[in-house]
Amino acid sequence: MLPEADSQLIQIVDAATADAARRAGSWLKCRKGCTQCCVGVFAITQLDALRLRQGLAVLELADPVRAAAVRQRAQQSVSRLTPDFPGDPATGLLDDSAEESFDTFANEEACPALDLSTGTCDLYTARPMTCRIFGPPIRSQDGIGVCELCFQGATEQEILAAELNMDWSGIEESVNAEAERVSGQAGTTIVAFALLR
């Protein structure tokens, strides 16, 4: 069961992302059918994993056929990824240093929530934080990062003017800690393994 505070966190994140998208204007190329950010694995929190599983349960009630397709894609993905999985395939948990291997691990693996025939996410309302914030410029210890499809030809000023304000990290850490208590698992995983738990 998702922590109650997750809905507040989602509202904060979605509002901040919408504001950054508004400021980005036409530089932001994200749209239905663009699946650039849906290919290649990435780490997700236990909060993201719980939200995805709840989203799949809701989809199961609304559209069992689509839900079955998501489950099948997740099973196929796990089968392909298990031999080189940088963690424990039995639990789906990533090793602490797993993200270092993401440069060479599963870069061509489509997210199991992605319906390749429509180019849309079957679990869009339950998507992980990384998916929610992708597109606008994001600051990290390495500087400002942008999607390779967005901001082509933009000046540094135009990029910085659209920077996503990520001041929710303290709330997210707190809600994720609660999700870890609820799930009984701590650490990160990937979408395919999260959907099969």
Nearest alpha-carbon partner for 191 in 3, 40, 10: 40
Which pLDDT score is estimated for 158? 95
Number of domains in the chain: 1
Q: Is residue 40 part of a domain?
A: yes
Q: Is residue 35 part of a domain?
A: yes
Q: Is residue 79 part of a domain?
A: yes
Task: For residue 33, give its domain range.
Answer: 6-195
Two structure tokens written together for 168? 């929710």
Which pLDDT score is estimated for 97? 86
Which pLDDT score is estimated for 191? 98
Which pLDDT score is estimated for 150? 92
**For the segment 77-93, what is each residue's pLDDT rounded down to a tens digit?**
999 999 999 999 999 99
Q: Is residue 55 part of a domain?
A: yes
Q: Is residue 115 part of a domain?
A: yes
Using only the alpha carbons of the chain, give its radius of gyration: 17
Which pLDDT score is estimated for 177? 97
Q: Span 128-135, mean pLDDT?
A: 95
* Total-model pTM: 0.94
List strand residue ranges (DSSP E) for the chain, in order. Answer: 87-88, 93-94, 114-115, 120-121, 138-140, 143-145
